Amino acid sequence: MGTPVGLSEARRRPERVGRSAVPARARPRRRRRAPLLTGGARRALLPWALLAPALTVIGLLLLFPLGRVVWLSFRDFHLRNLVTGTSESVGLANYAALLGDPYLWRVVLPNTVGFALVAVVATVVLGTLVALLLSTLRPLTRVIVVSCVMVAWAMPAVSGTYVWIWIFDVDDGIVAQSLTSLGLLGPDGYNWFADRLFFYGVVTLNVVHSGFPFVAVTVLAGLMTVPRDLHEAAMIDGAGAWRRFWHVTFPVLRPVFAVVTVLSTIWDFKVFAQIYLMPGGDVGGSEMLNLGVWAYVRSFGHNDFGTGSAVAVLLTLLLLAVTVLYLRALFREDELR
């Protein structure tokens, strides 16, 4: 898209300018301009000036679309409106329709919340266990194990999902084959993708598998900072491994756990590809949809961008609420201030 050309242009030009005009003029002007700002004002403006590029990017790429989604959620917006560019406000009608839809309460919300709950707990517990294992390893072994763990993290969600679908293939998957040869499964097999619990079981495996390395590495970094004498003191007092973890490690690492839990929660609430790509995960009205997939099906399947946006806003509000609750529970009141 012309970016390489543009960049090399930018790199080439200053040199040309530099050789001719600028050096002679720039220096004296700089000395004159300096007193325009007092030291204090400058100190106050400096952070904003340094933040400005990042804020501009965030504003353009994040805040604007976010605002637009909120705006869309109050409108009757279909494909036709996309072409004409005009639309009508419907107030809270989109939200009313959604909240009055039994499908939300019966399928979508339980799927989203239930799955996130299980997946977050599993991810954090598994990640912590792996971190504890890593902390006892010698440096070389640790590098090897960490590299292996990283492979799971580096796997793109789409390819990872297809691998899990393939593992659980109803006819020829390794799971079906093994269960059949063990005599636990009849020759006709069983379509686990049609069963809500099994379906989300596979999704959980997939998401935990790709999510635990982040927790493991972050917690490991935290573990390195726990003073060794605390552990030694606890050991002398006769504390076992569990009590040492719970009474020594955990309190010290509480901020770390807060971060990994909140991040995992956010990721697991809005999981999309891992569900959408599964067999049956893209069927509107099926038992398998979560809020993220529902928003997508509503927007792009039904071309009903207003309702789709309303689902997305609901998901965001839900996430905000859960995050606040978490932070409250993990930190004591005074620590928050």
Partner 1 sequence: MARRRTHTHVHLPTAALALALTATACGAVAGDGPVADPLVVWIMEGTNPDETAYFDAANSAFTERTGVEVEVEFVPWSDAQNKISTAIAGDTVPDVVELGTTFIPEFADSGALYDLSTHIDDPYLYTQSMLRMGQIDDRIYGVPWYAAIRSIVYRSDLFEEHGQEVPQDWAELRETAVALSEAEEDMTAFPVPGDAQYSVMPWIWGGGGELAAQRPDGTWVSDIDSEGGRAGMSFFTGLALEDGVSTTGAVNWNEIDVMEALAEERAVMAISGSATPKAILESNPDLEGRLGAFPIPGREGGYTDSFAGGSLLSVFAGTGQEETAWEYVAHLTGDEFSIRWSEETGFFPGRAAAVRTFAESENPLVRPFAVQLEAASRGTPVTPAWGRVEAAKVIVAMQQDVLNGDATVEEATEHAADEVERILNGD
Q: 3-state class of 295 per DSSP?
A: helix
Q: How far apart are CA 288 and CA 278, in angstroms?
A: 10
Q: What is the 3-state secondary structure (H, E, C) of 69-134?
A: HHHHCCEECCHHHHHHCCCEECCCHHHHHHHCCHHHHHHHHHHHHHHHHHHHHHHHHHHHHHHHHH
Task: Tell me how many residues contact partner 1 (CB under 8 A).
Answer: 45
* Residue 194-213 contact track with partner 1, rule CB under 8 A, x = bound: x-------------------
CB of 115 to partner 1, least distance (A): 20
* Residue 153-192 contact track with partner 1, rule CB under 8 A, x = bound: ----------------xxxx---------------xxxx-
The two tokens of residue 193 are 């993708």
**Residue 221 binds to partner 1 (criterion: CB under 8 A):** no
Q: How far apart are CA 209 and CA 291, in angstroms?
A: 22
CB of 165 to partner 1, least distance (A): 9
Handedness of CA 35, 40, 43, 48 (dihedral sign): negative
CB of 7 to partner 1, least distance (A): 7
* Residue 74-103 contact track with partner 1, rule CB under 8 A, x = bound: ----xxx-xxx-------------------
For tokens 């002007």, the residue is 29
CB of 169 to partner 1, least distance (A): 6
CB of 198 to partner 1, least distance (A): 12
Q: 3-state class of 323 per DSSP?
A: helix
For tokens 């001719």, the residue is 20
Measured from the CB atom, is 57 or 154 closer to partner 1?
57
Question: Please, which residues bridge with residue 88 across strands?
Answer: 76
Handedness of CA 36, 38, 40, 42 (dihedral sign): positive
**Residue 13 binds to partner 1 (criterion: CB under 8 A):** yes
CB of 60 to partner 1, least distance (A): 11
Measured from the CB atom, is 247 or 302 closer to partner 1?
302
**Residue 284 binds to partner 1 (criterion: CB under 8 A):** yes
Neighbours of 82 (CB within 10 A): 11
E strand residue ranges, 134-252: none
What is the Cα Rg of the chain in Å?
A: 27
Q: How far apart are CA 101 and CA 298, in angstroms?
A: 13
* Residue 230-249 contact track with partner 1, rule CB under 8 A, x = bound: --------------------
Measured from the CB atom, is 186 or 238 closer to partner 1?
186
**Residue 215 binds to partner 1 (criterion: CB under 8 A):** no
**Residue 1 binds to partner 1 (criterion: CB under 8 A):** yes
Measured from the CB atom, is 2 or 139 closer to partner 1?
2
**Residue 285 binds to partner 1 (criterion: CB under 8 A):** yes
Measured from the CB atom, is 160 or 281 closer to partner 1?
281
Task: Decide if 116 contacts 269 (C-beta within 8 A).
Answer: yes
Task: Report the interface residues with partner 1, using CB under 8 A.
Answer: 1-3, 5-7, 9-10, 13-15, 17-19, 22-23, 26, 78-80, 82-84, 169-172, 188-191, 193-194, 279-280, 282-286, 297, 300-303
